[in-house]
Amino acid sequence: MNRFEYASPSTLTEALALLTDTWGQTEILAGGTDLITSLKQNLTTPRRVVSLKAVSDLKKIEVRGTEVRIGAMTSLAELSAHPAIRQHFPSLVEAVEGIASPQIIAMGTVGGDLCQRPRCWYYRQGFGLLAQQEGRSMVPEGDNRYHAIYGNKGPAYFVSPSSLAPGLIALGAALTLAAPPAPAQRVEPAAPAVEPAARAKRREVKCQAFFRVPQAPGERETDLRPNEILTEITIPLRGLRNSTYEVRHRKSLDWPLVTASVAFDYSADVIGIAKRPRRGFEPPAEPVQPAARAPVVVLGHVAPVPWVSERAAALLDGKSIDESVAAQCGEAAASGATPLSRNGYKVQLVKVAVKRALLAASGKKG
Amino acid sequence: MAKVAWPVEEKRSLMGRRISRLDGPLKSSGRAKYTYDVNLPNMLYAKILSSPHAAAVVESVDTKAAEKMAGVEAVMVLRKPGERVDWAGQEIAAVAAVTEELATEAVGKIKVSYKVERPRMDDRDSSKGEGRVRSKSSGDATQALQDAAVVAEGRYGCTAITHCCLEPHGQVAEFRDGELRLWASTQNVSGYAGQLTGAAELPANKIHVNGRFMGGGFGSKFGPDRWGIVGVELAKKTGRPVKLMLEREQELPIAGQRPSAYAEVEIGATEDGTITAWKSKAWGSGGMGRAGAPPLPYIFRDIPNLETASQGIPINRGPARAWRAPNHPQGCLITMSAMEDLAAKLEMDALEFFIKNLHYTRMPEVYREELQIAADMIGYGKKAHHRGDPTPGPIKRGLGMSLHTWGGAGHDSTCDLTIHSDGSVIANIGSQDLGTGTLTVITIVVAETLGLPLEAVQVNIGRNAYPPDGASGGSTTVGGVSSSSRRAATAALNELLEKVAPELGVSPDRLEAAAGKIQEIDNPQRSMTWQQACALLGQASITRQGRHSRSGAGELTSSGVGGAQMADVSVDIETGVITLNELVAVQDCGLIIDLKTAESQVLGGVIMGITYALYEEAIYDPQTGRMLNADMEFYKLAGLADIGDLKVHMMTGKGYDDRGVIGLGEPPVISPGAAISNAVANAIGVRVGTLPLTPDKVISALVEGGLLS
């Protein structure tokens, strides 16, 4: 860990003014459960750390009409204890409970969960996000038991570590990212802070679009820019059934091996469909009531991004869920996986996780 | 006169009861100061630069930038150009600086160039064995296997694991007034100084070691090690106290490994389930150190037709060290797995099969009794089924069992005990408490011997100023310290009885110490209080020494224990995730001094065993040889949610108590791997050959067995 300047602004505009345009110069501190270890491992050596603890309007959960807005600094404990979240989004509660560490649940934040860096052990040992040595990835011939089985044609092999992202994507959540007003009135590290006048610029991205697979050294795994702060997560209230199923090795604190999050309209005990490209799948014989949203199946810890399985979702349209439909959907989700030398078992885990998440969401026991 | 022999059961007031460890409140409140907590005025922090390469030659080491930094007080090169590196993490250089952060930063500024070689990392390929093949044979195993009605063949083993002590290795060293003071996290307080006389350039009598509390050793902390020597050298060089504790990421790859062990086994039996032959070929790696040689066949040593061979595979991994019950867990896993596989092939109940073959063990009656108790505790009769749980659905349940043994004779020990004229008692032993309750059991022995409450006795351990005691390894401590302290206390008491006898008008051999009094045996009315008795000493006091020597152990201690464990698991055959429902441990350790700390010792061993059975593995990159999980994130230890319901039964009474005190540290850690592996095989119908029993391996075994597509 290098010496750095510590800033604790009390407003978002102040916080944004303390960030810079290039990665590595500044880091944002939320709960610290990832950043502190990254600092200790010298994975990042920022000149300034900007804490968001004192930015009070980032800590909130608001139910407004047809949506729920969650401030990025809301702790995972606050999220999973909130009555509206418990009522509408069991998928997120299950994802938080899956973390299994009271300390991380208490300290970790919703924004931090989405922005944390991957746990790939080659990355954590200093081989870079793409785990490369002399331009070649260490993963295919290395120990890749916890690496990706989708989206792993290179150069990225790590898995997205976020606990909440698969559930949020399934629920159709959007993220609000704030940037300083242009032209930036920025404070260079080690210079005294000045009061910025203009208001922050905001943009909204779908949670799914926030994550991306880096294609070259230096690229990141999210759409977040170095001078932006994730401020808010908005989840539409659509009355979707939803659930997250995690396969974990240990019951106590452990990263999941595979997770599956599902969300679907089940108003008539049949999965509702919405318009979507059919991609060669036959439409159901019986027309069903158009739904608020098509079913979504998202896998966690299997790819460099939360992995949306179109094949699995398409199979659900208009179906009533039972063990057989859920199992077929799991098979569909698992098809097309490209496991590495040591992680073929994850393909089996995908089948089970999807099946069990579907059964749980539909109120049937697996 | 009081006798040295242990009191009979009716005469014991403290021994054998459940007594909470005396340093529990200190530890749970944080008042106990571990080596890690020692901070001296003007102290420097030392950090070590480790090699990132597992096989390399150092070409150059440039320390200039580190040396120039303000606050850096000393830089030492530990591997010079031309010297080899044989495992990742090997020490290259060290820095002492005024803060820990500065020392870390300075280490990062040392530039080292290496000629890097491709490391040898594969320990699973038996053809890569090197060096001496250890073999033994009796009878004709090949013929007997041919003649056997049923033969089971299998491949079993376990990966390398580390000690993963909660408190990493390290010490604080301070030279003052021509002497060296050390606070060390060590299993060897009395023997530590002698290993540092060269580095300190002082005789051992000028080196003072403190080690009252330590955060786990498990066989990895017998000496100061390279880093301990460096810490002393840095303190000497700078003239300031130096604290050097390994970082977690350094500790795991270099400060101790349990060797991996694999074996191919053939075991044969007659139709009625009597084992007739055993043949095994074992291999494994102790890294660049000596490989282990698991005892095979384990426990069932007297199988008539035997043929065994084992060989090591040197690879570029940190050297192996003694790991709690060295070689036994590996030998146990391999043997008990093969046994259970044979029982399954015979379609015979595993418990019946184990009992039927107990005549091949050295303690058949002990094991028979223990297995029956374990079976009752776990509800074997109701739960047992042949291999493969027929219950529909993805959750399969199974039972497994295992037997183990250990020596546990007491090591050499010396105790000085003083009775003061005010009645207070002090006992000093240069031993250490690894967290097992050593301090507590010594206090119990002394208090029991003198007929006093625990509070009346002060016991000091953890300094080499006290009379020497052996290193705490191999379950040798309790035999040594209980014997030496009993002897010292008895001798001191007898001297006191000589003074009391004329006052009470009774001959000394008619007197005893009990309930805070000195009284006539069988006539407690004729007595005086302990205080009155001690007041007779006037201005003098009584000091006596008690010695225990391994060679002439006498009647107080012995060795050789047996234990049986049974595990009840549920396996999710769709995910490969195993849940330990229950594990019962039945253990003999001779005469028990403190039932509570004995049970705790068994629980601790069992939890450690569950951890290596299900979770723990030192994972190395095959390309660079670096340990990939030198952390507490992917170096997985069982948490409270993972250990299930644990039940301990200690064997006591006739046949056990009369054997005297025997060590207990190693035995309970031996069987969990085997018992859990057998329970998993019993549940799912196929063997998962190697530990840890991770979901990927369970899934592979199910696929290979045709139980999952």
A103 interface with B at CB cutoff 8 Å: no
- Mutation target to probe the A interface, by most A beta carbons within 10 A, among B572, B574, B643 is B574
CA B402 to mean position of chain CA atoms = 19
Residues of B in contact with A127 (CB under 8 A): none
Under 8 Å CB pairs connecting chains A and B tally to 84
Chain B residues whose beta carbon lies within 8 Å of the beta carbon of residue A118:
none
Interchain contact, A250 vs B639, CB within 8 Å: yes
| Separation of alpha carbons B397 and B644, rounded Å | 14
- Does B624 reach chain A within 8 Å, measured CB to CB? yes
CB–CB contact A343 B696 (8 Å): yes
Q: Residues of B633-660 as b/e, b for ≥16 C-beta within 10 angstroms? A: ebbbbbbeebbbebbbbbbbeeebbebb
From the candidates B45, B250, B628, which should be mutated to test the interface with A, based on the most A CB atoms within 10 A?
A: B628
Query: What is the model's pLDDT at position A288?
Result: 47
Which burial class, exposed, middle or buried, applies to B321 when counting CB atoms under 10 A from its CB (0-12, 13-18, 19+)? buried
Nearest to A252 among B101, B640, B708 (CB): B640
Cα A75 to Cα A32, A166, A255, A362, B422, distances in angstroms: 11, 18, 19, 28, 60
Instruction: Give residue-wise pLDDT tens across range A142-174.
Output: 999 999 999 999 899 999 999 999 999 999 999
Alpha-carbon distance of A237 to A65, in angstroms, equals 8
A251 close to B (CB below 8 A): yes
| Three-class DSSP labels, A276-341 | CCCCCCCCCCCCCCECCCCCEEEEECCCCCCEECHHHHHCCCCCCCCHHHHHHHHHHHHCCCCCCC
- All residues of chain B having their beta carbon less than 8 Å from the beta carbon of residue A122 are 621, 628
Is residue B633 within 8 angstroms of chain A, CB to CB?
A: yes
pLDDT value at residue A1: 76
Nearest CA in chain A to B577: A249
Residues making up chain A, counted from first to last: 366
| ipTM exceeds 0.90 | yes
Beta bridge partners of B176: B179
Check B577 against A254: CB less than 8 A apart: no
The Cα–Cα gap between B520 and B506 comes to 7
Mutation pick from A99, A124, A146, A252 vs chain B, by most beta carbons of B within 10 Å, is A252
Q: Which one of B577, B607, B643 makes the best mutation probe of the A interface by having the most chain A beta carbons within 10 Å?
A: B577
Percent of chain B that is helix, strand, coil (3-state, to 5): 30, 30, 40
Averages of pLDDT over each 10 residues, chain B, 709 residues: 92 96 96 96 98 98 98 98 98 98 96 97 91 94 98 97 96 97 97 96 97 95 96 98 96 95 98 98 92 94 97 95 97 98 98 98 97 98 97 97 97 98 98 96 98 98 97 96 98 98 96 97 96 97 96 86 98 98 97 98 98 98 97 96 97 94 97 98 98 98 92
Q: Are B623 and A125 an interchain contact pair (Cβ–Cβ within 8 Å)?
A: no
Mutate to test the interface with B, among A125, A346, A365 (most CBs of B within 10 A): A125
Whole-number percent of chain A with pLDDT over 90: 82
Give the whole-angstrom CA distance, residue B270 versus residue B124. Answer: 32
Which residues on chain A are in Cβ contact (under 8 Å) with B699?
345, 348-349
Considering just the CA atoms, what is the radius of gyration of chain A in Å?
21
Q: How far is B143 from chain A (nearest CA, A)?
A: 40
Please report, for residues A61, A96, A109, A363, the alpha-carbon distance to residue A81 in angstroms, rounded to integers and kept in the order given: 11, 10, 13, 21
**Residues of A91-112 as b/e, b for ≥16 C-beta within 10 angstroms?**
bbbbbbebbbeeebbebbbbbb
Q: What is the DSSP string of A153-173?
A: SSS-------SSHHHHHHTT-
Min Cα–Cα distance to chain B from A14, Å: 30
Average model confidence (pLDDT) for chain A? 91
Nearest CA in chain B to A124: B628
CA-CA distance, B354 to B402, in Å (whole number)?
9
Q: Would the pLDDT of A190 be above 60?
A: no
pLDDT given for residue A269 in this prediction: 83
Measured in whole angstroms, how far is the alpha carbon of residue B214 from the centre of its chain? 14
- pLDDT score of A273: 73
Give, in order, the Cα–Cα distances in Å from B475 to each of A107, A174, A340, B264, B663: 42, 60, 44, 30, 4
Q: Cis omega before residue A155 (within 30°)?
A: yes
Does B70 touch chain A if contact means CB atoms closer than 8 Å?
no
Q: Does A257 touch chain B (CB under 8 A)?
A: yes
Q: B105: which chain A residues are within 8 Å (Cβ-Cβ)?
A: 2
User: For residue B693, which of B566, B564, B576, B568 has the smallest C-alpha distance?
Assistant: B576
- Give A247's contacts in chain B (Cβ within 8 Å): 575, 577, 695
Instruction: Provide the residue type at B361 as one letter.
Output: T
B696, B707, B708, best to mutate vs chain A, most A CBs in 10 Å: B696
Query: Using the beta-carbon criterion (under 8 Å), do A125 and B636 form an inter-chain contact?
Result: no
Please say whether the beta carbons of B15 and B6 come within 8 A. yes
Q: Does A365 touch chain B (CB under 8 A)?
A: no
Q: Do B577 and A121 touch (CB under 8 A)?
A: no
Name every chain A residue with its beta carbon within 8 A of the beta carbon of B108. 42
Could you tell me if A119 lies within 8 Å of chain B, comparing CB atoms?
A: yes
Kindly list the residues from chain B whose CB atom is less than 8 angstroms away from the CB atom of residue A142.
Answer: 621-623, 628
What confidence category does residue A274 fall into, taking pLDDT thresholds of 50, 70 and 90?
A: low
Check residue A84 and give its pLDDT: 97
Taking an 8 Å cut-off on Cβ atoms, the answer to whether A352 and B574 are in contact is yes
| pLDDT of A277 over the 50 cut | no
Identify all chain B residues contacting A42, using CB atoms and an 8 Å cutoff: 108
Kindly report whether the global pTM for this prediction surpasses the value 0.90: yes
A266 touches chain B (CB under 8 A): no
Q: What residues 97-156 of chain B have any CB closer than 8 A to a CB of chain A?
A: 101, 104-105, 108
Q: Which residues does residue B100 pair with via DSSP β-bridges, in sequence order?
A: none
- The Cα B167–Cα B434 span in angstroms is 11
**Residues of A with Cβ-Cβ distance to B574 under 8 angstroms:** 348, 351-352
Interface probe, candidates A250, A257, A342, chain B, greatest B C-beta count within 10 A: A250
- Residues from chain A contacting residue B628 (CB–CB below 8 Å): 121-122, 125, 142-143
Are the beta carbons of B105 and A257 separated by less than 8 Å? no
Interface contact flag, B615 A252, Cβ < 8 Å? no
DSSP assignment of B383-417 equals: H--SSS---SSSEEEEEEEEEEEE--PPPPEEEEE
- How confident is residue A186, by pLDDT bands cut at 50, 70 and 90? low
- Under the banding of pLDDT at 50, 70 and 90, the label for residue A198 is low
B177 touches A at CB < 8 Å: no
In chain B, positions 181-200, which contact chain A (CB-CB < 8 Å)? Answer: none
Say if B50 is an interface residue toward chain A (CB within 8 Å).
no
Find the CB nearest B623 among A3, A142, A342: A142
Among A138, A247, A249, beta carbon nearest to B636: A249
Task: Give the three-state DSSP class for A32.
Answer: coil
DSSP annotation of B36: G
